[in-house]
Amino acid sequence: MVFFTKVKLNSTKIGRFANLKNLKMKFGTKAIHAGQKADPSTGAIMTPIYQTSTYKQDSPGEFKGYEYSRTGNPTRTALENNLAALENGKYGLCFGSGLAAVDAIIKLLKPGNEVISTNDLYGGTYRIFSSIFEKYGIKFHFVGMNDDSKIISHINENTKMIWAETPTNPMLNIIDIRNLSVLSKKNKLLLVIDNTFATPYLQRPLEMGADIVMHSLTKYMGGHSDVVMGAAICNNDDIAQKLYHIQNSCGAVPGPMDSFLVLRGLKTLHVRMQRHCENGKVIANFLKNHSKVEKVFWPGLKSHQNHNIAKNQMDDFGGMISFNLVNNKLEDAIKLVSNTHYFTLAESLGGVESLIGHPASMTHAAIPKKEREKTGVIDSLIRLSVGIEDVEDLIKDLERSFNLI
């Protein structure tokens, strides 16, 4: 039997979006103001970095909302409140990385439970599912989620969760969240959506019926490639209670400095995402018309197989683009990604600077070749995280590299 420590669900213990006036704010206003207030002791506009591990108690058990920084920290609380507001959720919880958030969510399950996951997903998520949690008796089914019958065929009495990324990494497939919500509720399953690629600026899965939204805050939410962090947001009191117990008991929490950095980054999320989307559209169309490009994967293109779903559930189409090369030669892909200047060859995504990567040998190397090729991650697939530089410079940079192959 698993015992959960009972804690009060209040704004000092769990990042909480309880102030209904936040619902009336537009997104950019939320990003700057939600969950935050001037420091009462100094009037400081920015949330202070409470660099402390512990807090003075007036007598045993009597404290001012915080007792130990693994359990809660005022800087982290401000961030958790802000994240909940942006996703139109009730509870936000931060973790030491995106994978730490994945870890906490899967710990809601127990041995013998089964999870149906999209087969096109971040390699790190695949790795923790297949090489860590399967050892503890949790079974994962990796299926394409554009066909309901494939999902339904794997549902049985042990199935407890559906896990999906949308847009997916790196193929930019779009999964119908509302449809998954109907399917999960009909079968009494938890629906978890990884919203890292879209951010709440572009889509808000809780509004479409998801039970939990998770993020790698390292990416667009932080936005400056200077912090590693993850988050989970939900509305359900019981789920929040269990996640908080896991967060506190397992201790994979971020420090106050990292919390401050993400909180600062979120203040410009709406401005940055608008530019990412604008630049993404230009780059996608440049690639679509390039003679050395076989296919472009970007949901804003009408040729994208899920374009209509994307139009329905997203407010724009983002700055993540993947493409493969004519003749599918590994050596061409390696030469192209190794010779750009403004597009930096690096892991990760979502920063203000443009990044380029080769999924088969980098982010998705943990997935067996046969399995990754089934989802489209072939040897010449290249992934771009289009930044917010001047797009003309980015096109010239890509063209120079194309000329070498």
By annotation, the residues acting in catalysis are 70, 122, 194, 219
- Three-state SS annotation for 260-329: HHHHHHHCCHHHHHHHHHHHHHHHHHHHHCCCCEEEEECCCCCCCCCHHHHHHHCCCCCCEEEEEECCCC
Residue 52 burial (CB count, 10 A): 14
Q: Is 293 in contact with 323 (CB distance < 8 Å)?
A: yes
Q: Report the candidate in 169, 194, 222, 147 with the shortest Cα–Cα distance to residue 366.
A: 169
351 touches 225 (CB < 8 A)? yes
Question: If we measure between CA atoms, which residue out of 140, 187, 136 comes closest to residue 164?
Answer: 140
Alpha-carbon 141 to chain mean position: 21
CA distance 166 to 118: 9
CA distance 301 to 280: 11
Q: Are 103 and 128 in contact (CB under 8 A)?
A: yes
Element holding 353 (H helix, E strand): none
E strand segments, 1-145: 15-16, 91-95, 114-118, 139-143
Residue 299 near residue 318, CB atoms below 8 Å = yes
